[in-house]
Each structure stands twice: as C-alpha cells, then as structure tokens.
Copies of this chain bind each other. A is one copy, B any other.
C-alpha cells in the first residue's frame, strides 16, 4: 500500500502536499491532498478531515479555502480526499449529471450494482485513510476531527455521528442534513442504496440524531443567501432534530452568504479554531 507524493508547495512555513495511492477499499487509484503545518516537522500533529462537496476534487479546498493559515496557527494537519472513486473503469451516471457518480460519492458504501464495487467512500474515509495517513505523514491518529461542505458536510456529520469516539468534533458548512428528504439525496441514495428507504436512514444526520446518536461537539454554518438552502440543505430539519432530541449543536445562520468558497473562506478560521480546542480537550 504505497503512497506517492506528486506535488509539494511550501505554504505558511508548512507543506501542502498532493499524493496518489492505490485505494484498496475503492479498488482504484486515488488522489488526495494534505497540509502539514510547521509543527509537524517536530512531532505528530492532530488531523482534520475535510470532505468536499459535489463536483469537487481534492484540489478545490486546498486552493480556495485559505485554510492553511489557520492550520499553521493551530498546528493541525488537514487532509482533503477526493469526493468519489475515480478512473476509467469506475461507473459514472450514464446521463452525465453532476450529482451522481464521479464527483458525487456521498460518503456512503453503495449496495447496488453497478456502484457497489467502487463506491465505498464511507469505508475509505473511516478505515483506509486513518490507517494509511499516519504511516505516511506525521499525524496522530488518536486526535482526529472532521468537517466538510454541502455533500461533504453531510459526509462529515454522518461519519462523526456513527463514530463519536473516533472524532473529537465535527463541523459543516451548508451541509445536506437530511438527504432522505431532498432531491440530491433521494436521487443518489436510490441509485447507490436501492429502493428500500429504511436502508437510507443510516446515512441521514437527522435520522441518526433522532435515533439517539451520542453527543459530540458540533458546529454548523449556513449562509442565508445560499441558493440550495430551501430545496436541498434544509437546515431547519437539523435544528428541529437537535431540539427534539436535546442534541447540543451550534447552528449559525449568516445573512448574505451563499454556497461558494467565499463563504467557506470567511468562516474556516472559526471552524479550525473550534476543532483545535476540541482536539486539545480530547488529548488533555
């Protein structure tokens, strides 16, 4: 299981790396990006997982979020995986849409053909990367947190709610909080998971909270000028689930902000600070 570094750029006195490896879980070659802060030159540092949204690759966050400054300040590494399996033999939506198939893995394990062989992003994020990354980089697997945007916000929330002992904290920008009740989620889940809607609930944050998922520190930011808020993101369903189940989460709504990386850049420092504090408490 070899990992190859293909680019390296010095950034805020740390290292922005892009790597390539054979992903056993996904049965394909994958690219990924990791920022190692200057502190990582001396000792293993905590690791933040960033999960990107629909159509993204491992590169969008790295180039557009401006996160390296804060990662360097707080001494945390940030890994940005790709958003789906990749490669010529990986099936894509035959209709060529951008919300199913390549770039739209939804961070789940597919159970249906033709998807189930490669589309296992849940296992990739929760099993393969946590084993691979500490072997290749000076990161401490015992101190991890997770965050993401949109489809990746959904992924971060679902993964953290299923594994509260493995992540010190979770946060999301404009997450899809209830994929079983929005067009993006219904389309993807019906293809990846089949017609049985009961099986979908394992990948729906609101359902997991309603089913009694254990508490972990949770921060959500949502722009009120986000074009997808009403139709796809439905933040109010998460607010409702948290209230009904006494689940503590900080859910902030920001007037004027949209779904773009300009929104993420504006608040990513706040998120990284939130995770750094949770990781410090978890270690202490």
Contacts and interface: CB of A to CB of B under 8 A. Distances in A.
Nearest to A63: B64
B266 A12 contact: yes
A10 B63 contact: no
A9 B258 CA distance: 7
A257 interface: yes
B223 A262 contact: no
A11 B69 CA distance: 17
Interface in A32-90: 63-64, 66, 68-69
Given A10-B254, A10-B266, A11-B262, 8 more contacts: A9-B258, A10-B225, A11-B263, A11-B266, A63-B261, A66-B66, A66-B69, A66-B265
Interface residues of A, number: 24
A248 interface: no
A205 interface: no
A68 B13 contact: no
Interface in A256-284: 256-258, 260-263, 265-266, 269
Interface string A225-241: 10000000000000000
Contacts of A11: 262-263, 265-266
Contact of A257 (B10, B66, B260): B10
Interface of A: 9-13, 16, 63-64, 66, 68-69, 223, 225, 254, 256-258, 260-263, 265-266, 269
16 contacts: A9-B258, A9-B262, A9-B263, A10-B225, A10-B254, A10-B257, A10-B258, A10-B262, A10-B266, A11-B262, A11-B265, A11-B266, A13-B266, A16-B262, A66-B265, A69-B265
B66 A10 contact: no
Nearest to A16: B262
Contacts of A257: 10
Nearest to A67: B66
A173 to B, nearest CB: 13
Contact of A10 (B16, B68, B256): B256
A223 to B, nearest CB: 7
Contacts of A265: 11-12, 66, 68-69
A141 to B, nearest CB: 26
A272 to B, nearest CB: 13
